[in-house]
Amino acid sequence: LKVIDLKDCFFTIHLHPEDCVHFAFSVPVINNDRPMQRFHWVVLLQGMKNSPTICQIVVSEALSNIRTTYNVIMLYHYMDDILLAVETESSLSRVFDSVV
């Protein structure tokens, strides 16, 4: 049994350049001496309604090849957490090396 936690999963998923404008935000400047500065996200951000669903889909697609290659494993994932289960330790290390 092996558990993997993907670090900063949301922030590793890049947004399409055309969609970045929908994730814009403004930062006020001191004393309002010039217009506010505008920025936009280029990666998937936390707190958006569909971010968890998008993360789930992307991780599922990334793991689909592992599922078909190693049909003897039990592989579950939820968001950025992955659980690998195999009957033998040697099989687990072989599968784990290909996942990571």
pLDDT at 95: 83
Please tell me the distance from the alpha carbon of residue 88 to that of residue 51, in angstroms, as a whole number.
36
Q: Residue 100 pLDDT more than 80?
A: no
Write down all domains in the chain, each with its CATH number in brackets: 2-99 (3.30.70.270)
**Which tens digit of pLDDT belongs to each residue from 21-37?**
999 999 988 888 888 89
d(CA 60, CA 9): 13
CB 16 within 8 A of CB 57: no
Using a pLDDT cut of 70, give the percent of the chain over it. 100
The stretch 45-51 carries a mean pLDDT of 91
Fill in the DSSP letter of residue 37.
Answer: E
Distance CA 72, CA 65 (A): 13
CA atoms within 13 A on the CB side of 5: 2
The answer, as to whether pTM is greater than 0.75, is yes
Identify the H or E element spanning 48. none
| pLDDT(53) > 90 | yes
